[in-house]
Amino acid sequence: MEQIEMSEADSNKFQMTWQLQWSTLPHDLLLQIIDRLGLIEFLSFHGVCKDWRLASSISSPEEKSRDLWFLTYGEGSKCSLLSKQDKIYKIDLPELDGATCLASYKGWLLLFCNGSMFFFSPFSRAKIDVPNCPITELSDHAAAFSCLPTSQNCIIAVISRTSDEELELHMLFKGSNQWSKCNFSCEKRNLNTITGAMFHNGEFNFLDRFEGLVTFDACKSKEWNSYRLVKNDKSVKNVLDYYIQRDHLVFKDIKGKMELEDNVSITTCGTFYLRGKHNILIPGETIEAEEGSESSKNLKGVWIHPRYFHIEPNQTW
Amino acid sequence: MAKTPEPKRTISLKPCDGDVIEVSPMIAKQMQTIQSFIEDDSFIATTTIIPLPNVTAFQLSKIIDYLNYHSNSKAVADNVKESTKKFDEEFLKELEHDKLKELLHAANYLNVKEVLDFLCQAVADLIQDKSVKFVRKFFGVVNDYSVEEEEDIRRTHAWAFEGVEED
């Protein structure tokens, strides 16, 4: 008799642990699932309960080779988002009202708005202000940052042309308020308007729409180098270890997929990302409104990784 | 199922609700929890029965099935890939949502990486395009947000949930 009671008690105990373990799934198991979720599913997950929200906020999922999403802005706070599955989402982002995206990398945007600069993660709405913006007005500026802006090693670089003969580079290291400035003699015929900017292997790379490439070693030598890009020339021994994907807007039929009218022009900010084993640079570009179309509308766009960053409020640079 | 010719070399596992199940050392090795038992000095393959109080016979045999199938089909030929895909689909089809959850838990307890990877992906795929309510129901998780907090979260990401399936 006593034995039966014991085993019943045991089985009850077992049931209880079972239930308990299910409502508080071990975090390592949750993280493995989170790691495999797309952005939208991640947001569902996040809203389930406090414990899961905690798990998803402390997780920093491995960077998976997810395809890029495309975000358009430039009409007040109204923005549109095109997912990898070609689904359109309407999203309201007051932070993008009047702003221009200078760089997009690993899910973070570097934005310029009315003389100030900040990092912004559009999906979590996390914002990190960048001190003492070196730009008062945008002209041909291009920018890049070296890694996540929450990382201790992050460096921001903003480049522009001061004259037909000279480039000017402003750099800011994480934690510092003081931008450093350096100039580089580089004729415009060697590097035209910069459309692609990114950080790779310790160097900032700046590319124009043609064959120009200028690099700056921000970490060690602080040296500048200027190159001319050539295709399929076996006599050249230096080979780029990343791919450049030009005309991506047309290639991906962004205007068609986002159901944009003929009279819309889009100017984009590119990005740099890892797809499978390949590093790929998508430069910024512009699609003009179709000729003859009345009252054209100018939108801005940016390629972005669908990643979610939870940060403490009021995080500073 | 590939059987080892010498029965004495198998590992005996005792699920919580059934008879002892014998597995080959190759399969047992993939279960980290079992592996640590085997590596223990007091372990004697011929006599030791490893008790698994957190795993049912059904779950254990599913996990063994999966490992057996996948260890026999490591080749990458297209027809193998095709039949593996079919096996995986059938494997999941036989599992109701509750059973999938429990199997995930059992795989986590036994620490079988291959099965865990597979099941986590299956759960992630199930959540795709589903609402918060569905996910809660699926996992049997109690909503501990206050009405205000929940509304706040919902409002923050309202854009993402337009047109998702509620159930």
Q: For B69-91, how does the pLDDT look when each residue is reduced to its tens digit (9 = 90+)?
A: 988 766 556 677 888 889 999 99
Q: How far is B43 from chain A (nearest CA, A)?
A: 26
Residues 6+ apart with CB under 8 A from A75: A297, A299
Contact between chains at A36 and B128 (C-beta distance less than 8 A): no
Query: Which segment, A170-174, A230-234, B25-29, is predicted with the most confidence on average?
Result: A170-174
The answer to whether residue A118 scores a pLDDT higher than 50 is yes
Structure tokens given for B29: 């090795």
Residue B80 sits at the vertex; the CA angle it makes with B76 and B85, to the nearest 5 degrees, is 105
A61 pLDDT higher than 60:
no
DSSP chain B: -PPPS-GGGSEEEEETTS--EEE-HHHHHTBHHHHHHHHSTT--TTT-EEEETT--HHHHHHHHHHHHHHHH-----HHHHHHHHHHHHHHHHT--HHHHHHHHHHHHHHTBHHHHHHHHHHHHHHHTTB-HHHHHHHHT----S-HHHHHHHHHHTGGGGTT-B--
HSE at residue A201, side-chain half, CA atoms within 13 A, is 6
d(CA B149, CA B21): 49
pLDDT confidence of residue A234: 86
Listed ranges A95-99, A261-265, B70-74, B89-93; the one with the highest mean pLDDT: A95-99
Residues on chain A touching B141 (C-beta within 8 angstroms): 22-23, 48-49, 52
What is the model's pLDDT at position A6?
37
> Could you give phi then psi for residue A198, rounded to 5 degrees?
-165, 170
B53 and A50 within 8 Å at the Cβ level: the answer is: no
Residues of A in contact with B16 (CB under 8 A): 14
- Return the residue in B157, B161, B165 with the most chain A beta carbons within 10 A, the one to mutate for interface testing: B157
The pLDDT-based confidence of A14 (bands split at 50, 70, 90) is very low
Residue A35: C-alpha distances to residues A265, B69, B140 (Å): 36, 26, 21
> Scanning every residue of chain A, which has its alpha carbon at the shortest distance from the alpha carbon of B137?
A48
Please name the residue of chain B whose CA is at the shortest distance from the CA of residue A89: B159
CB contact under 8 A, A48 and B124: no
Three-state DSSP at A5 gives helix
CB contact under 8 A, A40 and B16: no
Average pLDDT over residues A193-208: 97
Domain boundaries, chain B: 7-127, 132-161
Residue type, position A155, single letter = I
- ipTM of the predicted structure? 0.81
pLDDT at A166 over 70: yes
SS3 at position A114:
coil
The ranges assigned to domains in chain A are: 2-57, 69-304
Task: For residues A105 and A141, give the distance between their C-alpha atoms in angstroms, rounded to a whole number.
Answer: 17
SS3 A95: helix
Where residue A4 falls among pLDDT bands split at 50, 70, 90? very low
Euclidean distance between the first and the last CA atom of chain B, given in angstroms as a whole number:
38
Three-state DSSP class for residue A289: coil
Query: pLDDT value at position B137?
Result: 82
Edge-to-edge strands, sheet with A155-163: A142-145, A155-163, A166-173, A180-185
Percentage of chain A modeled with pLDDT above 70: 89
Residue that wins the pLDDT comparison between A58 and A13 = A58
pLDDT of residue A241 exceeding 70, the answer is yes
| Class of the domain covering A69-304 | mainly beta
- How wide is the angle at C-alpha A196 spanned by C-alphas A110 and A277, nearest 5°? 95
Q: Which of A214, A188, A195, A197 is nearest to A285 (CA)?
A: A195
Joined tokens for residue B30:
């993939």
Q: Which residues contact A105 (CB under 8 A, 6 or more apart)?
A: A144, A145, A198, A199, A271, A272, A273
The one-letter amino acid at A81: L
- pLDDT on residue A5: 38
pLDDT(A19) > 60: no
Q: Tell me whether residues A47 and B153 touch, CB distance under 8 A.
A: yes
Report d(CA B125, CA A105) in Å as an integer: 27
Using 50, 70 and 90 to split pLDDT, how confident is the model at A171? very high
Assigned CATH topology for domain B7-127:
Potassium Channel Kv1.1; Chain A (3.30.710)
Residue of B nearest to A126 (CA): B156
